[in-house]
Amino acid sequence: MFYYNRRDFIKTSGSILGAAALGELMFGCRKKEIPASSKWGGFNYAMCNESMGELSWAEQCQIVGNAGYRGIEVATFTLVTEDVQEISPAKRKQMVSIMINAGIECAGLHWLLASPPKGLHFTTADAAVRQKTIAYLDKLIDFCGDLGGPYMIFGSPGQRSSRGTSVEEAKKYFAEGLARVADHAQERRVKILIEPLGKSVTDVVNTMAEALELAKQVDHPAIQIIFDFHNTSDETEPFDVLLKKYYNHIYHVHVQEMDGKHLGTGTAVDDYVKAFQTLKDLRYDKWISLEVFDFSPGGKKIAEESMRVLKQIESKLV
């Protein structure tokens, strides 16, 4: 049986699209990326779905759309019991229909290798495990492409830390694995974005400089990097400087309070103004996605209160 949220089939809201509309949902089709220009249209906000994991896909999309976000970012492990292949082609099309009915689109995937499935590790010295993990990443590329998502955020600290090998060897395996899926990602019009993570959660790629070094080692247009406010603990430069320095390779931004809670529970409304001003000055037109780690307030409250703070930050920009 197919599960979206580890329970019975999704509760659907809204009407099913007509045949003509469904024709636009064929796998691999999505709006073309619009290059940054003087006709900047404002920030594009998305929200990650894992804080709403107990809800149906339709309910998740409705919350995100009603709160004013334009996209939803998907943690695949929240939708399956064993493997992403549980989500059939027909169900993937239905997920796209539900997003459209809610007035949103897929911003991409993150938490790529979190269990389920079990036993994945991208940088282990065990060649068989690496092969299994690379094969699963290929499946996720197709899932992302089928949903119309442009980006896959490679965080997954537990599945990329050094294990039975050195950090340098782990980085070598990281680059080799990304190189093996890069052409497939490009074919599906997906970019895999390396996410710097703090040393408290992984010992492999902790700074923007290390992420860019790894991306350059792969040397493929489908492999780029992400900026995440929460994950700057090992940086020595302020947000705005980092954004300017790495801007040409940043294809996604994650935002939350610095302690990982939703916006409005801390001081982000003041602390992030300079960074957002930098993004506005640079006419950043890709996703800014809300990712939080404390789900206790519930998805609806997290979505609404964080959007209010994002608008408050915008009101301080010139």
Token pair listed for 275: 């960074």
pLDDT of res. 54? 95
Residue 18 CB partners (closer than 8 Å, separation 6+): none
Confidence check: pLDDT of 29 > 80:
no
Lowest mean pLDDT among 24-38, 214-228, 243-257: 24-38
pLDDT of res. 163? 86
58-81 exposure pattern, b = at least 16 Cβ within 10 A, e = fewer: bbbbbbbbebbbbbbbbbbbbbbe
Q: Which position has the higher pLDDT, 252 or 30?
A: 252
Percentage above 70 pLDDT, the chain: 88
Rounded Cα gap, residues 33 and 207, in angstroms: 27
Rounded Cα gap, residues 220 and 34, in angstroms: 20
Rounded Cα gap, residues 96 and 204, in angstroms: 34
Distances (CA, A) of 57 to 23, 49, 91, 217, 234: 22, 9, 11, 38, 35
Confidence check: pLDDT of 258 > 70:
yes
Confidence check: pLDDT of 2 > 50:
no
Token pair listed for 114: 């979190």
Q: How confident is the model at residue 40 (pLDDT cuts 50, 70, 90)?
A: confident
Please, is 200 exposed, middle or buried when counting C-beta atoms within 10 Å of its C-beta (0-12, 13-18, 19+)?
exposed
pLDDT of res. 28? 39
Count of residues making up the chain: 318
Distances (CA, A) of 107 to 86, 123, 124, 202, 230: 21, 26, 29, 25, 19
Ordered DSSP codes for 94-130: HHHHHHHHTT-EEEEEESTTPSSSSS--SS-S-HHHH
| Alpha carbon distance, N-terminus to C-terminus of the chain | 52
Q: Where are the domains of the chain?
A: 43-315
Residue 69 CB partners (closer than 8 Å, separation 6+): 45, 46, 47, 104, 290, 303, 307
Phi, psi of 278, deg, nearest 5: -60, -45
Token pair listed for 283: 């006419």
Looking at domain 43-315, its CATH superfamily turns out to be: Divalent-metal-dependent TIM barrel enzymes (3.20.20.150)
Q: How confident is the model at residue 39 (pLDDT cuts 50, 70, 90)?
A: confident
Confidence check: pLDDT of 192 > 70:
yes
Residue of 144, 142, 150, 139 lying closest to 116 (CA atoms)? 139
